[in-house]
Structure 1
């Protein structure tokens, strides 16, 4: 498939590392690995496995605040390894796969971030990437001697200035600044090392950076977000965007909007890859995959008070805002929370009760979306011989995100449908639990995608920019060779 610019489209796949997987109860499976999240050798084994599968990149997320309530929502974010440290270690044990680190401009200085990312790019020989997040969890401010986290406008204003300044710092050394002439004693050409002399709204930075220009020129930039400011930041500055779309229609609208914005910023829209997150639950047969999904859900810890989560029933009124997940812990795993989301009072139902047609017809758009997701994941249906139950709907409410359940062909069909529709350029793959699900994906889904001619059989380049088909950017001080480190 080609783009409007005539470029051949290539499917891209990232792998996002969650130490315990994405399913809230995945770690409870007897076969799941749940105690090696800080074991560098184990993390390296996962990265090597993803590299054998020819993934574009291995992704480290981050969060700057935590609390015990995360044991009920996502144990992987309860306690997690620092991304730059882990990525630098993994770089020494891999050779091709890109390494994505997450860093929030609100809690970094541009000089430090430019130095860290440039250093990682050198250590990895051109495989580094920075995932920009602005963070919605205000508790992070309490860990950084801040009086406040700042509203979204303030955080994006800071990020906008931050990203441009980091790029200038990366460029403060020209590619041929080093002379290293033993005979003359000249080590560098001082005329090719530049101050940035930035005086902005938030930052004052003199420069130059104390790290040579990265091998990729600019490490690849990633970003995720759905707000208008986030889309502008991504369309202007990011090479890869993560989308929260749950359907092909949503994905197509998001992709079209980002590419329109990218063109308005003077960019080639084809240079921006859209990769939604995806958790495939895969097994040798479709029914085995569905059984595995049911087995995972049966391990979810529900609220002791299944109807109201031990709270005043008024909390779950349609007119009341949902309690914040960070404050409630297990208080969201009940029929009241489900009722508030789907627009129909299910607090009087039993979890095993089938969803009847009359109830299904009364669901709001969010409820209909949950119903469709539950049907696709379980194979059960309203009014069918295998009826969809209230509990199925509750599990789907709890197990959020983008989940697809099936055999290797089902998963490949799903990925291809999004790709062919232009709703995505691939996916950021996540495992419901480790390690078996990553092993199965690499052993069965990757070969199916390769058989269809959708995905690479081997890496063609050595840098992440090369994997993504991106040219190496010229240094704004002096045009560089755009073929070095790019395609």
Structure 2
């Protein structure tokens, strides 16, 4: 077997899958998105497959809109379990796989986030990761006393300071601070406790955190920003970057931009893994894989499908859905709308075909084919320096994930692209990223 640098693989477990019609699939359980047993099954399957991590994306509110009318009642994006609560439960029924969840810097406080993720890292034995996001939807804003979300600049300025405070709180204790000396009555060494006393533009946080140092130094930091401000946060902090790219040139350009930004920030670019999202339809033949794709697309209700175009193209419900995509009319979203129109014209797509193309994977890259064809694509991106791994976003859960494990994973392993067994116990060890130093210079990982 050839010896190669293994890639990283994550499983995104959001909803019942990434296809808009996932809940209508004959094999799907429509209520699985709020069923703990469903997630236990997925987590244990992903761990048996030796995936690096599980990932739970999140938004603090129902982001889907009822536009055109009737769309909202057709979507499975209406109810989800709170990610950290869910991952804490999954920590108890898994042993090795990483546990990553989204938490917003817009509608949380740094002490809350530092405490929750440090707790998850302790409960799981060093497997926690925080996906850093800023909230962008008005639906979320209205759940927290605002009529509209923050502007981009202030939102990201708050986020940058937020992350620095959280990292500072995670350094509150050296790893060997707790001496537990019964004879002297000394529970901890006060010289190894550190009070942050942060005074900034957005936050005043004294500390220290009331949780011992993380088993892996600190939880892994994950980011998914595509804007310059988001890339800036990633460059300074992230050990994993989730990306959305649909072609090799675009993926390579983004990869190089992030890696260069990481180096400019004084960090080793190899310590930041870039993992594009992929949605796969796999079968023994390409025809069968295409049939899986078309079967799901046929289940997308018209109003729901049109909702994926509504924000950019306006209300198209009065047009022939099997006719050509009309010119966009709203100048506020002209660039995005024209991009969609260009896609439709390039591939000769009708309105229905355009919305199913977008609804098939919530914007991720879609791969349709045999195991060899799918792995050829993944390998090409890795060889070209466009990805260090992939965040798998199956169209339907658990069936599409089972297909990937049964068909694509053996081919990845045959080519030496993915591990046969875990070599470590923490998420950092799976990813091959180092334990960060404490800003205070003390011990950073607990003694064995």
Counterparts of 1:81-480 in structure 2 under 5 Å?
81-146=81-146, 148-303=148-303, 323-324=310-311, 334=321, 338-340=325-327, 366-367=340-341, 369=343, 391-399=352-360, 400-480=363-443
Using the TM superposition, give the Cα deviation of residue 65 of structure 1 relative to its aligned residue in structure 2, in angstroms. Answer: 1.8
For the residue of structure 2 that corresponds to 1:339, the secondary structure is coil
Instruction: Identify the range of structure 1 (329-338 vs 260-269) with the bigger mean alpha-carbon deviation.
Output: 329-338
CA distance in 1, matches of 2:180, 2:88: 27
* 2:4 matches 1:41: no
Bigger relative contact order, structure 1 or 2 (CA pairs below 8 A, ≥6 apart):
2
- Report the counterpart of residue 345 of structure 1 in structure 2: none
1:426-462 C-alpha deviation (Å, 9 max, x unpaired)? 1100111122111111111111101100011111110
Call closer, same or farther: CA 1:407–1:182 in 2, change over 3 Å: same
Q: Is the 8 A contact 2:289 2:370 kept in 1?
A: yes
* RMSD over aligned Cα atoms: 3.1
CA distance in 2, matches of 1:252, 1:68: 31
Which residues of 2 match residues 58-73 of structure 1 at below 5 A? 58-66=54-62, 69=65, 72=71
Q: When the two structures are superposed, what TM-score results if normalisation uses the length of structure 2?
A: 0.89
For the residues of structure 2 that align with 1:390 and 1:328, how far apart are their CA atoms?
A: 11
Aligned to 1:57: 53
- For residues 9-61 of structure 1, the C-alpha deviation after alignment (integer angstroms, 9 at most, x for no partner) is 43111110122211111221211222121221221110111111111110011
| Aligned-residue offset at 1:286 | 1.2
Aligned length: 432
Q: Alpha-carbon deviations, 1:321-368, whole Å to 9, x = none?
A: x743799798999468933469xxxxxxxxxxxxxxxxxxxx976555
Question: 1:177-226: CA deviations, max 9, x gaps?
Answer: 00111211111111111110110001001110001111111110111121
Aligned-partner SS, 2:267: coil
In structure 1, the partner of 2:334 is none
Counterparts of 1:183 and 1:121 in 2: how far apart (Å)? 30
Change (3 A) 1:425 1:370: farther
Query: CA 1:466 to 1:331, structure 2 compared with 1: closer, same or farther past 3 Å?
Result: farther
Query: Contact 1:244/1:276 (CA < 8 Å) preserved in 2?
Result: yes
The runs of 5 or more residues in structure 2 that have no matched partner are 330-336
Q: Work out whether residues 370 and 396 of structure 1, in 8 Å CA contact, stay in contact via their aligned partners in 2.
A: no
Q: Is the 8 A contact 1:303 1:334 kept in 2?
A: no
Query: Relative to structure 1, is the Cα distance of residues 476 and 102 closer, same or farther in structure 2, using a 3 angstrom cutoff?
Result: same
- Cα–Cα, structure 1 residues 211 and 328, in superposed 2: closer, same or farther, change >3 Å? farther
Compared CA separation, residues 167 and 40, structure 1 to 2 (3 A)? same
CA contact (8 A) 1:474 1:482 kept: no
Q: Which entry has the higher C-alpha Rg, 1 or 2? A: 1
Match of 1:12 in 2: 8
CA distance in 1, matches of 2:150, 2:324: 29
Task: Check the 8 A contact 1:338/1:397 in 2, yes or no.
Answer: no
Closer, same or farther: CA 184–482 of 1 in aligned 2, 3 Å: closer
